[in-house]
Chains A and B, each alone.
Chain A
Amino acid sequence: MKLYSLSVLYKGDPKVHLLKAAYDLSSFSFFQKTSVQEFMTFTSQLIVERSVLGSRASVKEQEYLCHVYVRNDRLAGVVIADNEYPPRVCFTLLEKVLDEFSTQVSRTDWPSGSPSTINYAALDGYLSKYQNPREADAMTKVQAELDETKIILHNTMESLLERGEKLDDLVAKSEVLGLHSKHFYKTARKQNSCCEIM
């Protein structure tokens, strides 16, 4: 049961950008860490881009589940976890984090913010604390509220894309992915497999 990343983003029009993120890459080897981190950022951004305001969704890819919550005020959060981690806890966490973020960081900074300019340091703490989902037990009240809200479940990343859009093109165009990650994705794809880290 593991959480890999926790990020806060701003769903601008048309672009989504990352405001702040925390990653736990301790299960990846030394040389995998950079690529994995880049792909997680890329995925988080993509998911938020394709999600409607005021929605919650879970996107399944291989061994990972990406949970996203986009608020009506365009603030969004993404948690990337493994298949075993209870999704409810993720949404509780997202609710909590976004609430806190919006009080600590002024709204005017959101549209133009980036990880280096935004002053919010609690993400790393939350990520490590919530590695153990029982931390969320105190939040039963919020959980009950969440039960009523609808969570869209996507089985693959592809279902997020618009008709005719290809994941390959998005990868190639991405500014977040380094050269190596892009090349790795390209060759993995060519050999007839999914980009399997997602």
Chain B
Amino acid sequence: MAAGIREKQTVALKRMLNFNLPPIKNSTGEPVWKVLIYDRFGQDIISPLLSVKELRDMGITLHLLLHSDRDPIPDVPAVYFVMPTEENIDRMCQDLRNQLYESYYLNFISAISRSKLEDIANAALGASAVTQVAKVFDQYLNFITLEDDMFVLCNQNKELISYRAINRPDITDTEMEAIMDTVVDSLFCFFVTLGAIPIIRCSRGTAAEMVAVKLDKKLRENLRDARNSLFTGDTLGAGQFSFQRPLLVLVDRNIDLATPLHHTWTYQALVHDVLDFHLNRVNLEESSGMENSPAGARPKKKNKKSYDLTPADKFWQKHKGSPFPEVAESVQQELESYRAQEDEVKRLKSIMGIEGEDEGAISMLSDNTAKLTSAVSSLPELLEKKRLIDLHTNVATAVLEHIKARKLDVYFEYEEKIMSKSTLDKSLLDMISDPDAGTPEDKMRLFVIYYINSVQAPSEADLEQYKKALTDAGCNLTPLNYIKQWKAFAKMASAPTSYGNVTAKPLGLFSRVMNTGSQFVMEGVKNLVLKQQNLPVTRILDNLIEMKSNPETDDYRYFDPKMLRGSDSSVPRNKNPFQEAIVFVVGGGNYIEYQNLVDYIKGKQGKHVLYGCSELFNAAQFIKQLSQLGQK
């Protein structure tokens, strides 16, 4: 897995856009102009990977949604990228009948069934358009890659496979089968794109186990099918030098409900928690701050701005896992270095103005020409840098406003103390009743984390007290019903040592930010430093990837689709530690876990980990699901 999953999926998409031909290197001339038609699933897959400009570079002049009114464009080939649903097939047949385009390249995100294929064939025959249907492909791209090492299953219809959908008590067998099939289909596509067959480990008695069994079966069937196997040599790619197979760890969300609710302190996770962020796009509402508007007391106009946080954004890539004060300081530093460079360019401009006046200036000139050339050539880079600085200034400011208004630093510190079982300096009741700190939702999150982590459930009297305080603060108590039941059934949350201590450092990084008159006034916000500790999911990965013996994971089932006969054993046949792993959380994941895994694997030379989940939710969305589950 030398290349990350993002690159592999992008390569697959580009190949598809090139009419499923391998790209010809050093091709001169313009690409063939074409139209791209997608459905919402296709749109979600493409948008984090290819920008509109990149699409243009590949010759896509127009990109449209399948279910929109489209005019005929008779002399252009059309590339379709859609899910093989009834609705989509019908629309495609209609397109064929209406003779919209010159030729049709049909690409299905996940495998199409035979009967639906026949439907299309019939429509093509009926429309006398058979020769126009140039290619029909199953792309096996039914997952969304967000980062080089992170993916989710889907964004549209994610309620169908949400945590709530899987864990609600009134689910029928057929509904559960359908959900599991959806998850397995996407995971299968993922491994086809990755070009590797994993060794699967999962916990028993959970949704993860059901996924593992089905995935193993599907991979096994595909391998045995000599005609159609998707895992033959050429799809594995020339760059595959690893002889080891990757490890797939399937975990269920229920092993750790505290992490999704945790208040966080790293940049990317914070952006996801407090701002509107999905599919790598953050939407901000900015007030343009028109304090001195001539009309007097006019409300501040709110602009909506969207930013894409992409791999090309160097600042983001460097700092998305950093603690927030570090981010604030780094933005400041970038701004300063940008100003220095800008000044340099300005200086050179003014120097050019004195040419010819001085003999010495002539020799300086050639020097300066060189400098100027370099300055000019670095201009686009400089402009880009400015754009990014502005972007991150806006984003970080928005985050900071939330932190200050809700006192998120206090919550973060308190929760870390709860999770690491250290002594609490303030009572929980005080935290909940404090009117200045946090929204009702923040308080609910805090209380649920406390409840999950308490060894003994609080006494009836205490519980009543807490409930009253929460209700007074405006909280909705329904999530608690579900959590009580979950706790009564589940294993106890992480062992006491798994969350570390958090110390509030009084000065250090902070003072620099304060002294340089930065706009990031973090006054009153604690400068908290994260101590690296492993979350439950990371712990499980550690045990399995290093083949450590641990009661928590010893009982995990072992599947190897390449073995001739499956077995129900937990004994791994492969005794060596793995180099590559994929951790997949059935029931939903978040950026906190992702960041924790990234930090963990950094400490291991030569090892890689990918993180995937059936859906990505932030704490607010998760509390909502818990609330729905808790309603009787």
Contact = CB atoms under 8 A, between A and B. Distances in A.
Contacts, number: 58
Interface string A101-125: 0000000000000000000000000
Interface stretch (B15-23, B81-89, B188-196, B489-497): B489-497
B167 interface: yes
Contact of A196 (B170, B204, B487): B487
Given A30-B171, A31-B207, A187 B489 contact: no
A184 B252 CA distance: 14
Interface string B474-504: 0000000000110111011001000000000
A36 B169 CA distance: 13
Contacts of B169: 26-30
B168 interface: yes
Contacts of B170: 26
Contacts of A30: 166-167, 169, 171, 176, 207
B485 A27 contact: yes
Interface string A174-190: 00000111011011101
A193 interface: yes
8 contacts: A27-B169, A30-B207, A35-B205, A188-B492, A190-B551, A191-B492, A192-B492, A196-B488
Given A27-B169, A183-B555, A188 B485 contact: no
B631 to A, nearest CB: 12
A31 B206 contact: yes
Interface of B: 166-171, 176, 204-207, 210, 252, 455, 484-485, 487-489, 491-492, 495, 551-552, 555
Q: B-side binding surface: helix, strand, loop or mixed?
A: loop
Contacts of A186: 551
Identify which of A28, A31, A32, A34 gathers the most chain B CB atoms within 10 Å of its CB.
A31
A84 interface: no
A196 B205 contact: no
B455 A193 contact: yes
Contacts of A196: 487-489
B540 to A, nearest CB: 13
A29 B167 contact: yes
Given A30-B171, A186-B551, A191 B495 contact: yes
B251 to A, nearest CB: 13
B489 A28 contact: yes
A132 interface: no
A38 B252 CA distance: 21
> Nearest 7 A-B pairs (CB), nearest first?
A180-B205, A191-B492, A29-B167, A180-B204, A193-B492, A183-B555, A196-B488
Contact of B491 (A32, A62, A63, A188): A188
A34 B205 CA distance: 9
Contacts of B167: 29-30
B311 to A, nearest CB: 37
Contacts of A167: none
B488 A63 contact: yes
Contact of A192 (B168, B455, B555): B455
Contacts of B206: 31
